[in-house]
């Protein structure tokens, strides 16, 4: 396990000072061209069957920290490609969208379908709740983060409890600004491989592509400066093209994905629960088996999967899914339906319901901070000094928050982003951050930030739409109960 | 959403629509004796006057005496909006100038103000749309009309596009 051409004797003593369980790793050159991701099929069953896998005992590396640092520095390459509103990028499925009558709009620097020719947004929304929809979410940004320092780096920039995250498990989290604890972006973090090497799969929002990358880059630079263990962040791409990301959402998605798996794939869809990621193989018409990393979950509140697919085969795999699903059960759906679905599911849209100025407690996202990360031992994440006191209300000796994200049901006109929220007495108490008529509930739903104290469900407030005050009631979210597949656990 | 129609959504007229709350408005309307338009209804008045369109995708059609106009949104706009799920109607007797917001149509995705193409006084609103907003999609230039206005200056209509001009206008908008 010795690294080549190293270890002058003078520095040897340092080695003794480092912890015995210090991770081993390969050289940079061995990991310089990581794509396409080689899927380790053998591991899938291990993870599924045995839960958390124990670390194999590895020999202690033969050189000290300083030497490591000289040989390899933490990096964030390759970076994603940055597009502009004027010249948006295209996902691998762009032509497929056009073929299906996709009405394209610019979103997050990408040209994306807002809806398709055959279904209105409402119909597409209802279709997802009743059957299954396929969403191209390839505009989102996928990263691999690995190296001995990966876990601690991610636990520094997010409040996630990654030590408890077994391989194959995912968690919603947020990148946080230092000190203020404002949300840089929300993200999904999945552990693909356990320590000491660590491999995490991180998905962030399209609209924050540049900001997130700069944020990671700065965090990693600072990380390196303080002699932390090596970490590398890589945009997930092959031949310069980002990996595709396709979501199946709706009650029929398990059935459809199950039917699309290759006969050699050992994954049992009925034992694959929400928040878990598996290595699957899809049967392609060519007879090939395509390895894919897929997570159970999504952004609609329905059962579903998100499939990360090699760029050269994203189109083929998507067409195959559409074929297996058949037009009777599976249709493509765009950003329009995705937005109303996620709103019904009470999920935040970055730049609207959360932004750089909101902290997780303000955004009612306390659940992304596990208990053990709120205690003194494990507190070291960006903005903890602001966020931890906010978790305890003023009445219990904490700082509390002055505003909170809540759900509203509005009578009469739908309330949209920017509409003012006023109390029964007419005092301004907040602002709507997103809202729409809910196709499922046939009521107007909205998310808003309101003053602390006005946030309890059942509180009667008013929302100002086109100059008129409309009655509204603070309501628990999700508005439509989610149907995540959690099995009988 | 395409073009100017969605672009101006919600920018205009916070005060133009509302002089009273909706319950008040509804009460007022029921108390009022059934309004008798000075002219025959819209559906019967198609012969004498050509329908005109604005660049904001409203249409107006004048009654045979040229004093009253019926306002709605164009078929093109209704298609662009998608399923209309809510219609905000103008208050009766509202005095408006050309370009003022007199109401709004909302789909799941968007809210769009409706601007009056001409100045005058609102004399009728299509209350059917309150319960069946989808009528705007089914018949945007017929039963899905929005309001009737008593015009203060009939000449304003002359500046608007005719059907042919509007068709060209939308084709150009789509061309971009």
Scanning every residue of chain B, which has its alpha carbon at the shortest distance from the alpha carbon of A436? B108
Residues B18 and B88 grouped into a single domain: no
CA distances from B54 to B51, B142, B143, B147 (A): 10, 17, 19, 15
Q: Please say if the pLDDT value at position B151 is more than 90.
A: yes
Give the residue-averaged pLDDT of A135-141.
97
For residue B161, the surrounding DSSP H or E stretch is strand B161-162
Query: How close B91 gets to chain A, by Cα (Å)?
Result: 12
Residues B59 and B145 grouped into a single domain: yes
pLDDT (tens digit, 9 = 90+) per residue, A321-361?
999 999 999 999 999 999 999 999 999 999 999 999 999 99
pLDDT (tens digit, 9 = 90+) per residue, A148-192?
999 999 999 999 999 999 999 999 999 999 999 999 999 999 999
Q: Please say if the pLDDT value at position B33 is more than 50.
A: no
Residues 6+ apart with CB under 8 A from B150: B38, B67, B68, B120, B121, B123
Is residue B39 one of the residues assigned to a domain?
no
- CATH at B157: 2.40.50.100
Q: With CB atoms and an 8 Å threshold, state whether B83 touches A120.
A: yes
pLDDT score at A224: 84
Contact A158, A187 (CB under 8 A): yes
Nearest by CB: A414 against B15, B21, B111: B111
Q: With CB atoms and an 8 Å threshold, state whether B82 touches A115.
A: yes
Q: With CB atoms and an 8 Å threshold, state whether B82 touches A339.
A: no
Is residue B40 one of the residues assigned to a domain?
no
Task: Tell me which chain A residues have a C-beta less than 8 angstroms from the C-beta of B17.
Answer: 466-468
HEC sequence for A253-291:
HHHHHHHHECCCCCCCHHHCCCCEEEEEEEECCCCCEEE
Residues B23 and B95 grouped into a single domain: no
Residues B27 and B108 grouped into a single domain: no
Q: How does DSSP classify residue A160? A: -
Residues B21 and B107 grouped into a single domain: no
pTM: predicted TM-score of the whole model, two decimal places: 0.81
Residues B90 and B161 grouped into a single domain: yes
For the packed helices A150-157 and A209-225, what is the interaxial angle rounded to 10 degrees?
Answer: 120
pLDDT score at A176: 98
Q: With CB atoms and an 8 Å threshold, state whether B22 touches A412.
A: yes
Nearest by CB: B108 against A336, A468, A469: A336
pLDDT score at A488: 62
Task: Tell me which chain B residues have a C-beta less than 8 angstroms from the C-beta of A468.
Answer: 17-18, 21-22
Is residue B65 one of the residues assigned to a domain?
yes
Give the residue-averaged pLDDT of A11-40.
36
Look at strands A444-451 and B52-53 and give their pairing: unpaired
CB atoms within 10 A of CB A294: 23
Task: Look at residues A335, A351, A478 and name the one whose alpha carbon lies nearest to residue A409.
Answer: A478
Q: Which of A43-52, A254-263, A413-422, A444-453 has the lowest mean pLDDT?
A: A43-52
List the beta bridge partners of residue A175: A185
What count of residues does chain B have?
176
pLDDT score at A209: 96
Query: How close A92 gets to chain B, by Cα (Å)?
Result: 24
Give the residue-averaged pLDDT of A381-386.
95
Spatial distance between the Cα atoms of A32 and A144, rounded to a whole number of angstroms: 13
Is residue B75 one of the residues assigned to a domain?
yes
Spatial distance between the Cα atoms of A115 and A110, rounded to a whole number of angstroms: 15
Residues B59 and B90 grouped into a single domain: yes
Residues B87 and B156 grouped into a single domain: yes
CB atoms within 10 A of CB A266: 14
**Most A-contacting residue of B17, B87, B109 (CB-CB within 10 A), to test interface:** B109
Q: Please say if the pLDDT value at position A58 is more than 50.
A: no
Spatial distance between the Cα atoms of A372 and A380, rounded to a whole number of angstroms: 11
Scanning every residue of chain B, which has its alpha carbon at the shortest distance from the alpha carbon of A444? B108
Residues B152 and B74 grouped into a single domain: yes
List the beta bridge partners of residue A408: A446, A474
Nearest by CB: B86 against A121, A336, A414: A414
A302 labelled ligand-binding:
no
Spatial distance between the Cα atoms of A225 and B19, rounded to a whole number of angstroms: 63
Is residue B164 one of the residues assigned to a domain?
yes
Q: Please say if the pLDDT value at position B42 is more than 90.
A: no
pLDDT grade, residue A135 (50/70/90)? very high
Q: Which of A108-122, A255-269, B44-58, B87-101 has the lowest mean pLDDT?
A: B44-58
Residues B23 and B57 grouped into a single domain: no
pLDDT grade, residue B29 (50/70/90)? very low
Expressed as residue numbers, the domain containing B20 is 1-33
Start-to-end CA span in chain B (Å): 13
Residues B154 and B76 grouped into a single domain: yes
pLDDT score at A160: 96
Q: Please say if the pLDDT value at position A3 is more than 60.
A: no
Is residue B55 one of the residues assigned to a domain?
yes
Burial class (CB in 10 A: 0-12, 13-18, 19+), A187: buried
pLDDT score at A19: 36
Spatial distance between the Cα atoms of A277 and A260, rounded to a whole number of angstroms: 17
Spatial distance between the Cα atoms of A319 and A140, rounded to a whole number of angstroms: 20
Q: Please say if the pLDDT value at position A103 is more than 50.
A: yes
- For A317-459, strand residue ranges (E) read 330-333, 403-410, 420-422, 428-437, 444-451
Is the peptide bond preceding residue A155 cis, with omega within 30 degrees of 0? Answer: no
CA distances from A431 to A185, A352, A400, A465 (A): 21, 11, 19, 11
State whether ipTM is beyond 0.90.
no
Is residue B4 one of the residues assigned to a domain?
yes
Secondary-structure breakdown of chain B: helix, strand, coil percentages, each rounded to the nearest 5:
30, 25, 45
pLDDT score at A20: 35
For the packed helices A335-344 and A121-130, what is the interaxial angle rounded to 10 degrees?
Answer: 60
pLDDT grade, residue A72 (50/70/90)? low
Scanning every residue of chain B, which has its alpha carbon at the shortest distance from the alpha carbon of A464? B14
Is residue B45 one of the residues assigned to a domain?
no
Contact A211, A219 (CB under 8 A): no
Nearest by CB: B14 against A336, A413, A467: A467
Residues B141 and B102 grouped into a single domain: yes
- Counted domains in chain B: 2
């Amino acid at each position: 396990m010795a690294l080549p051409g190293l270890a002058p004797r003078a520095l040897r003593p340092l080695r003794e000072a480092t912890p015995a369980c210090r991770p081993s790793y390969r050289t940079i050159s061995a990991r310089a061209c990581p794509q396409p991701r080689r899927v380790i099929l053998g591991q899938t069953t291990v993870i599924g069957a045995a839960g958390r896998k124990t670390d194999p005992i590895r020999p202690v590396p033969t050189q000290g920290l300083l030497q490591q640092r000289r040989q390899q520095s933490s990096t964030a390459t390759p970076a994603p490609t940055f597009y502009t509103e004027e010249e948006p990028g295209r996902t691998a499925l762009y032509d497929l969208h056009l073929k299906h009558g996709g009405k394209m709009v610019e979103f997050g620097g990408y040209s994306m379908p807002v809806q398709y020719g055959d279904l209105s947004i409402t119909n597409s929304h209802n279709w997802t709740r009743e059957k299954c929809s396929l969403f191209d979410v390839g505009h989102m940004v996928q990263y691999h983060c690995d190296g001995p320092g990966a876990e601690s780096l991610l636990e520094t920039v997010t409040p996630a409890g990654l030590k408890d995250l077994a391989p194959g498990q995912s968690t919603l989290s947020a990148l946080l600004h230092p000190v203020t604890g404002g949300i840089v972006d929300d993200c999904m973090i999945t552990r693909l491989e356990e320590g000491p090497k660590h491999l995490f799969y991180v998905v962030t929002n399209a609209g924050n592509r540049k900001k997130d990358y700069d944020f990671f880059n700065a965090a990693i630079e600072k990380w390196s400066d303080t002699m932390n263990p090596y970490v590398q962040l890589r945009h997930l791409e092959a031949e310069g093209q980002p990996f595709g990301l396709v979501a199946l959402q709706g009650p029929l998605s398990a059935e459809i994905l199950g039917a699309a798996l290759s006969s050699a794939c050992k994954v049992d869809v009925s034992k694959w629960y929400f928040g878990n990621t598996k290595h699957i193989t899809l049967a392609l018409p060519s007879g090939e088996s395509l390895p894919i990393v897929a997570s159970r979950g999504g952004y609609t509140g329905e059962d579903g999967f998100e499939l990360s697919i090699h760029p050269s085969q994203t189109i083929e795999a998507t067409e195959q899914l559409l074929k297996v699903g058949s037009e009777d059960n599976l249709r493509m759906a765009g950003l329009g339906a995705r937005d109303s679905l996620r709103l019904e599911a009470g999920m935040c849209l970055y730049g609207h319901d959360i932004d750089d100025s909101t902290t997780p407690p303000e955004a009612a996202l306390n659940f992304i901070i596990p208990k053990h990360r709120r205690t003194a031992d494990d507190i070291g994440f960006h903005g903890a000094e602001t966020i931890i006191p906010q978790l305890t209300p003023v009445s219990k000796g904490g700082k509390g928050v002055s505003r909170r994200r809540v759900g509203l049901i509005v009578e009469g006109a739908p309330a949209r982003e920017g509409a003012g929220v006023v109390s029964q007495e007419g005092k301004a108490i907040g602002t709507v951050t997103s809202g729409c008529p809910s196709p499922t509930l046939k009521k107007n739903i909205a998310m808003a930030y309101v003053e602390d104290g006005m946030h309890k469900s059942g509180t009667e407030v008013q929302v100002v739409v086109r100059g008129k005050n409309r009655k509204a009631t603070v309501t628990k979210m999700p508005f439509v109960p989610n149907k995540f597949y959690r099995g009988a656990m | 959403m395409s073009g100017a129609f969605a672009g101006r959504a919600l920018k205009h007229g916070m005060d133009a629509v509302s002089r009273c709350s909706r319950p008040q408005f509804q009460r007022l309307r029921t108390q009022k004796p059934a309004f008798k338009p000075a002219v025959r209804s819209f559906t019967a008045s198609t012969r004498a006057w050509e329908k005109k369109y604005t660049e904001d995708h409203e249409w107006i059609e004048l009654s045979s005496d040229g004093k009253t106009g019926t306002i709605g949104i164009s078929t093109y706009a209704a298609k662009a909006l998608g399923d209309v799920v809510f219609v905000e109607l103008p208050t009766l007797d509202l005095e408006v100038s050309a370009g003022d917001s007199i109401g709004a149509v909302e789909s799941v995705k968007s809210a769009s103000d409706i601007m009056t193409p001409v100045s005058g006084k609102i004399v009728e609103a299509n209350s059917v749309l309150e319960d069946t907003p989808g009528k705007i999609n089914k018949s945007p230039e017929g039963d899905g009309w929005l309001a009737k206005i008593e015009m203060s200056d009939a000449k304003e209509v002359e500046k608007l596009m005719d059907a042919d001009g509007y068709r060209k206008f939308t084709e150009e908008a789509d061309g971009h």
